[in-house]
Each structure stands twice: as structure tokens, then as C-alpha cells.
Amino acid sequence: MEKLTLITTETDAGTRLDAYLAANLEATTRSGAVKLIESGQVSVGGKVPAKNYKLRSGETVEVTLPDPEAIELVAQDIPLDIVYEDSDVIVVNKPKGLVVHPAPGHPDGTLVNALMFHCGDSLSGIGGELRPGIVHRIDRDTSGLIIAAKNDLAHQGLSNQLQDHTLSRVYHCIVTGNLREDSGTVDAPIGRHGVDRKKMAVVADGRRAVTHWRVLERFQGFTYVECRLETGRTHQIRVHMAHTGHPILGDTVYGSKKEVKGLQGQCLHAVGLRFIHPRTGEAVELGCGLTEEFEVQLKKLRSKL
């Protein structure tokens, strides 16, 4: 079991305890939070509260999380948009809404389940029991190119390229506001948010994170941007763009809480991938077009110019 201690802030005052837990515990739903409270796994100020208890600022919330239930991997016939494939690697254009690998709250219906069906036993095991073939990840509501390895040789070779930055990943996004410069670099360490465990943040003791960006197009109140990852931290582009004061359009975690009509999650798409083939040593460069909803947002913005 894992024990967590959370401290409420002024913005949490008046929030129901079950809602607060769902927002601050990874892979915990509102109903899951209620179960934790009803089973006596949550205390506020050392006392066991009711599920509808409304929090005050500065309260100490202690939570005991049960050990996660074992997840059994199963192959599932989920359609894949395959951009490139050979006996060593497979590159997929991942749609929004598809989680990359199983985890508490998402036991199946993931990219891994789809890859298992398509590739059979031909997936590397280096990534761990629940992440066969997975070399790197992209967020559930980020779309675009992701590469998986079919054997350990390929996985090790691609992982090395991630470490030495020779595996290039290019993203396009629409950010809020107008960036002053035409290009730049964000070199700011990223780690777990001090209060909200579901979020990452720029923190002094975080891991080094570097994002290179350049402006592709400017609109009234928004900017179309290309981002190139030098490192690959969790939520890196989303955190770095928010850190500059220009969060990604539709990102309700790091930007405005208001959802954008016609947009599921953040307007962020992995458009390009370049790597050295781990067996042949040849460069492989791949690209994919924007999603329909991304194009719709650009069309709306262009119509206002």
C-alpha cells in the first residue's frame, strides 16, 4: 500500500472531498474516491470525514492507496493507422482518446492491446510486462506518430537514440496568445507538481527538459507552432508552452478549464518522426497530416484574419 499526504490550498476551499481526491490522485475516478473514503482509507486532519465533506484551505488530507489489481494483457482487434512497418519496428498514427499502455483505470482498449493483436508475439519485452514494444509515449488526447519495437535489439537501439537525442520527434500545436519571437528554446526542468499529483510542472529539482519551437503562423490571439523535442519528459510540450505563458489550445489541465468546441483535449499532434534504423543503420524519416479537428481549428482562425 502507498500512503500519500496532500495539503489543500485556497483554491480547494469549498470543494467536496470526493471531487478533490478524483482531481488529485492519478487514475482515480469520483466513484473510486468515494470507495476510498467509505473504506476508511482517507482522513482529514486526522479524522475520518464524510464523502461530501467540504474542504478548507490548509487542511491535511492523508490517503492510503491499496495495491493496484493485477492487469492481464489481452490482444484486441483495434484498428491501427500504420505509417511504417518492418520486422523490427512499427510506427502508428495514434488517434486521440487512445491510451498507449494498460494502467489502473485503463486495463484494456489501449495501443498495446492493439499491437498485440496485430504483431502477435513479435513485441520487445524491455519496456516491461505491461508495455511490450513501447519505446516512448504520447498522451491519450495527443494524436500522431509513435514508434514501437518488435524485438529487444530494436528496442535497445531506439532507446539509445532517445538518450542521445538522435531520435527526432516533431509536433505541431496551436497555443493561446502571441509569442513575441519567431523561434526559441525552453530549457526548464520538469517534475511532479507539488500539490496536484496528476500534473507535471517546471520545478527546480526536476529532470532536464528542452523544447525547441518556431512559429508557423500567427492569428488574432493564437499562434500555430512547431515544437521539436530534445528530451521527452511527461507532458513536456504542454508544460513548457504553459510555462511561457502560452498554453496549448484545449489543454484543460495546463491552460483554461473551458473546453473548446469541436476539440477533444489539447490541440497537439505528432507530425514527424526521424530515427536511425536499429538494424540497417539507415535514416528513416516519416510524417503524417494533421487531424480533421486540428485542421478545423486552423480554418476557423484563418477565417478571422
**For 134-167, what is each residue's pLDDT tens digit?**
999 999 999 999 999 999 999 999 999 998 989 9
Residues 174 and 126 in one domain: no
Quote the pLDDT of residue 67. Answer: 66
Cell numbers 495514434 correspond to what residue?
A: 94
Residues 12 and 53 in one domain: yes
Residue 70 pLDDT > 80:
no
Quote the pLDDT of residue 68. Answer: 59
CA dist 126 and 95 (Å) reads 25
Residues 189 and 116 in one domain: no
Residue 11 pLDDT > 90:
no
Indicate the number of domains in the chain: 3
CA dist 138 and 270 (Å) reads 9
Contact criterion met (CB below 8 Å) for 9 and 72: no
Residues 230 and 268 in one domain: yes
Residue 192 pLDDT > 90:
no
Residue 205 pLDDT > 80:
yes
CB-based burial, 119-152: b 16+ in 10 Å, e otherwise: beebbbebbeebbbbbbbbbbbbbbbbbbbbbbe
Q: Which of 139, 152, 205, 251 is catalytic?
A: 139
- The average pLDDT across 117-128 equals 85
Quote the pLDDT of residue 231. Answer: 93
- Is 88 noted as a catalytic residue in this protein? no
- How sure is the predictor about 243, in pLDDT bands with cuts at 50, 70 and 90? very high
Range of the domain at 47: 2-65
Last residue of a domain, one of 17, 39, 65: 65
Residue 5 pLDDT > 90:
no
Which of 147-156, 194-203, 218-227, 266-275 has the least mean pLDDT? 194-203
In the structure grid, which three cell numbers stand for residue 144, read together?
Answer: 500522431
Contact criterion met (CB below 8 Å) for 222 and 174: yes
Q: If DSSP codes are grouped into helix, strand and coil, which group holds residue 169?
A: strand
CA dist 251 and 254 (Å) reads 6
Residue type, 102: P
Quote the pLDDT of residue 170. Answer: 98
pTM comes to: 0.81
Residues 199 and 210 in one domain: yes
Residue 2 pLDDT > 70:
yes
Which of 97-101, 129-133, 136-140, 225-229 has the least mean pLDDT? 129-133
The CA angle 14-253-173, to the nearest 5 degrees, is: 160
Residues 174 and 156 in one domain: no
259: CATH: 3.30.2350.10
Residues 176 and 285 in one domain: yes
Residues 239 and 155 in one domain: no
Q: What is the pLDDT of residues 76-113, one digit of tens each?
A: 999 999 999 999 999 999 999 999 988 766 788 999 99
Residue 280 pLDDT > 90:
yes
Last residue of a domain, one of 48, 65, 82: 65
Residues 77 and 137 in one domain: yes
CA dist 115 and 76 (Å) reads 8
Residues 205 and 263 in one domain: yes
- β 168-176/222-229 pair status: antiparallel
Of 233, 264, 267, give the one whose Cα is nearest residue 249. Answer: 267
Q: Cα 263 to the chain's mean position, in Å?
A: 16
More confident residue, 181 or 65: 181
Last residue of a domain, one of 129, 164, 199: 164
Q: What percent of the chain has pLDDT over 70?
A: 96
Residues 187 and 152 in one domain: no
Residue 133 pLDDT > 80:
yes
- How sure is the predictor about 66, in pLDDT bands with cuts at 50, 70 and 90? confident
19: CATH: 3.10.290.10
- The average pLDDT across 236-244 equals 97
Residues 17 and 125 in one domain: no
